[in-house]
Structure 1
Amino acid sequence: MNTPTQHPYDQLTPDRVLDAVESVGFISDARIMALNSYENRVYQVGIEESDPLIAKFYRPERWSKEQILEEHQFSLDLKAMELPVVAPSTDEHGNTLHEFEGFLFALFPRQGGHAPELDNLDNLLILGRTLGRMHKLGSSQAFQQRPEINLQRYGIDNVEFLLENDFIP
């Protein structure tokens, strides 16, 4: 159990990461490397006699299972439309989200990439088309779990919270 000063990620040790990956049927070769991530914890985990996997551990109490699964489904739908996304891996039962000792996590194939050359007009055209296709799929059905990005939620509510709680000296 976490104390008030402990962050839940304090419990996410390298051994726990490896145990979580192995809990869904993979055998790790014990190689682990932390990757950059703003909010979640993401690791490259070596797998015996196979390519490494990317394990993403979702920040506890940030997103619900339903929100994460909705996002996973959107990624899978984008992939089915042959858009260049790295969707979460599915297990033999079609599951993309796993739980281990209080942590929700997903596994992804390792996929390299590179930044586009933004001064190349052909690249900008391709980016625009890709974004258009993503938005078309996203607007084809209403998201039920994803919080809406709007002025009230991301502007007014936050200003009121700061003013009411004396966050700003």
Structure 2
Amino acid sequence: MSGKKKEFNNKSYKQFFESLYPQLCVFGYKYLNDLDTSKDFVQEVFVKVWEDNIAFKNENHAIGFFYLAVKNKCINYLKSKQYKVTERYELTNLEAFETEDSYMPEAVVIETTAVIDKAISKLPEKAAQVIRLSIEDYTNNEIADELSISINTVKDHKKVAYRKLRDFLGFLNMS
């Protein structure tokens, strides 16, 4: 272990990969509009970090590093002659992608969505179903009809879900 930095072992790196890989693939897809290439780039970044045995200050630093590395890999590909010849990508679009402001909000949304989805999956099954439908803008009446339960049961499931989600997601502290 070098200094105070966190190094990954096989198990922790595998867990980190499994938790971050889907979000990074979606993130890369937003640049490339090609899921297969996005997956390849994300895997290449993970392999390079593992081979170089890069240590990070903490998990947030590691996550930021991976998003930036995937972004840079995508931009370099979009700048490449191979891509320009086959896709004729406009340079004006590429310049917009290169600004840091263009990727951070997307990365935050992707990460936050993943965290919230993970928290919802920890809820009791019916409460999770009610919350997922609520997120999709279903009204209490529509949720009751969809799940064949009463409106009062929908409200009860929401109360339970919101209380548990506040506990699960308290670390976000949005205030």
Instruction: Tell me the TM-score normalized by structure 2.
Output: 0.29
Which one has a larger percent strand, Structure 1 or Structure 2?
Answer: 1
Which one has a larger percent helix, Structure 1 or Structure 2?
Answer: 2
Instruction: Tell me the TM-score normalized by structure 1.
Output: 0.30
